[in-house]
Amino acid sequence: MTQTVNFSEQLSLRARALLHGLGAAVPEPGPLPARTPISGGVLLSLAVDAPVDVDAAIGRAATAFETWRTVPAPVRAGLVRRLAQLLVAHRDELAELVTLEAGKIGPEALGEVQEMIDVCEFAIGLSRQLYGATMPSERPGHRLMETWHPLGVVGVISAFNFPVAVWAWNTAIALVCGDTVVWKPSETTPLTALACHTLLRRAAVDVGADPAVHQLIQGDASVGAALVDDGRVALVSATGSVRMGAAVAPRVAGRFGRCLLELGGNNAAIVAPSADLELAVRGIVFAAAGTAGQRCTSLRRLIVHRSIADRLVERLAAAYSQLPVGNPLDDGVLVGPLIDERAFAAMQKALVGSVAEGGDIICGGERIETLGPDAYYVRPALVRMPGQTELVREETFAPILYVLTYDELDEAIAINNGVTQGLSSSIFTLDQREAEQFLAGSDCGIANVNIGTSGAEIGGAFGGEKQTGGGRESGSDSWKAYMRRATNTVNYSTELPLAQGIHFG
């Protein structure tokens, strides 16, 4: 797509056409603007939900739960299966809408929709594997076991950088577990949320399920706060900043609800002397510059052995200079825009601060003004730092990669662990001992060998430690967060022995 005088208008017309193709009604104008970072213009505007609307949506989900929880899990999976079919049929349209709202390049947007399809397939299989356990009882004629039951209404609060995949992680699993869902998307990406909600409602009608099992509420932080504070919401799954999580967690805990938090990441990769540098450069560049550095798993700190640091930095700088930055709708572009002016300002502030702390900007950081004054395209920045300064310990949600050096692996692992976040980490090494030492020593929820910090598969549990929140979503046994456990004892004898050999009466 080429730039014209009416470029923003073209994008707006395209957004309307995509919504129509996805079966979603174009929303009535309202106070919530759906902007595109491609041009900075407004695609459409939407109405926001008032407190009474949020209350009603949660009420509908709570009512629907009473029936949905009794539907057998493999039957519940039929809804998710139909959703997956619709996602396959509309993959290209939904991916393009993701590009329009979040600024992702085409392959990354398609990958995000494919991630939705993958997690639906995972959830379908999971519906026949919600296993409990049977334990030996110390009492004769007794059976001791645990069973898992639907939890209730799940509130999902998602962020702009993965506007559809994170919703699918939560929703596909929650639905097969017997929960109903109320979704509060980022106010930055309301159109993709409307499209997904429409597809799920259509899937429900197609399989004869109650469409009320999924509710969508739109608006600013006050809408999310109403979801967080409502006692009918059994679990709040929130993705966003550490600051947001620090506000959400005590409010949910104060009403004895459950939280699943996916918060900030200040991810590091260690490059050892034995590393395959060609492999490392490819992995580092994608992890640091992909999605314009706006993934929670983006690589932000590079910890390189001193003996190879100069050589690796030279190769990275050469790779950075060749990265095509521009309109994510154009073929060949690898780095799209930052989400908005605030993200750009934060990046510039961090770069100024890095120089003040003794850093050297090797390349990048400058703005590219190609698509109008309200669009923020920047070249990914590579910065050598004298050490892990206070600035380096902070997460800047932008494509800045700080390069640090180390002499011994223990020192590198300590640098990796020396931040308050604990999401993703990796090491590039061909030494098995170094790899195993790193896997045992990293304090992150994700630890990789010879790949970057981003690009997690749906089969593994996703999440992190420390200020990242401790939550786990998607694969493995993450389903347990969406269910409640009951321990059951069945006495099939004619006696009534007590545990621990207690005799009473």
Total number of residues shown for the chain: 505
Select from 273, 303, 302 the least CA-distant residue to 288: 302
How do strand 153-157 and strand 461-462 relate by DSSP bridges?
Answer: unpaired
Are 194 and 100 in contact by the 8 Å Cβ rule? The answer is no
Find the farthest-apart pair of alpha carbons in the chain and give their distance in angstroms, rounded. Answer: 91
**Interacting residues of 226 by C-beta distance below 8 A, sequence separation 6+:** 51, 54, 55
Q: What pairs with residue 447 in β-bridges?
A: 425
**Counts for the chain of helices (H) and strands (E), in that order:** 14, 23
How do strand 424-428 and strand 367-368 relate by DSSP bridges?
Answer: unpaired
Q: Does residue 369 carry a catalytic annotation?
A: no
Beta strands in 299-398 (DSSP E): 299-305, 360-363, 367-368, 377-378, 381-384
Q: What pairs with residue 214 in β-bridges?
A: 181
Distance from the Cα of residue 132 to its chain's centroid: 28
Token pair for residue 420?
């308050």
The Cβ of residue 135 has, within 10 Å, a number of other Cβ atoms equal to: 12
d(CA 116, CA 91): 10
Q: How many degrees, rounded to 5, is the angle at CA 380 between CA 220 and CA 305?
A: 120
d(CA 169, CA 167): 5
Active-site pick, 112, 262, 434, 473: 262
Are 464 and 115 in contact by the 8 Å Cβ rule? The answer is no
d(CA 462, CA 473): 5
Q: List residues with catalytic annotation.
A: 262
